[in-house]
Structure 1
Amino acid sequence: MEALVETIVKALVDHPDEVRVEKEATDQVDIYKLHVHADDTGKVIGKHGKVAKSIRTVMNAAAVQAPKRVQLDVL
């Protein structure tokens, strides 16, 4: 899942070398923390959060077989 998020986000940002995804697992949820360059935060979130919501939708579709939910935090 980390590779999926990285691939999507690196295509959107101006500083793809600074994209980093960290996974934090709990019993019920896998939390993916996305770190990007400060200038690229707006591009990843998008107007009214539409880009971030789209990334989350793709992640949920990819995790449909997983026993846990997935969550994306943009930092």
Structure 2
Amino acid sequence: MKELVETIARSLVDYPDNVDVKEHQQDNTLILTLSVHESDMGKVIGKQGRIANAIRSVLYASASHQEKRVRLDIKEPE
């Protein structure tokens, strides 16, 4: 799952080296946290969150056969 999010995000941004995905397990949910370069946030989120929702849809579809819940959080750069 982590590799899927990294691949999608790197294809969207201007600074692919700054794409970072961290994953951790909480109960029965795999939580993926995506962070990108500050100037790439808009490219990953998209207008009205359409790109972020599309990434989540692909992620949920790929996780549906694993009987595991997946959540994608997009974190602002620090």
TM-score, normalisation: structure 1: 0.96
Aligned Cα root-mean-square deviation (Å): 0.7
Structure 2 portions without partners, runs of 5+: none
For structure 1, which runs of at least 5 residues remain unmatched after alignment? none
Distance in 1, matches of 2:27 and 2:68, equals 8
Give the percent of matched residue pairs that are identical in Structure 1 and Structure 2.
Answer: 49
Structure in which a larger fraction of residues adopt helix: 2
List 4+ stretches of structure 1 deviating above 6 A.
none
- In the TM superposition, residue 67 of structure 1 has moved relative to its aligned partner by 2.4
User: Cα deviation per residue 1:10-68 (whole Å; 9 max; x = unaligned)?
Assistant: 00000000001000111221110001000001110000000000000000010011222
Tell me the TM-score normalized by structure 2: 0.92
1:35 aligned onto 2:41 = no
The number of residues matched between the two structures is 75
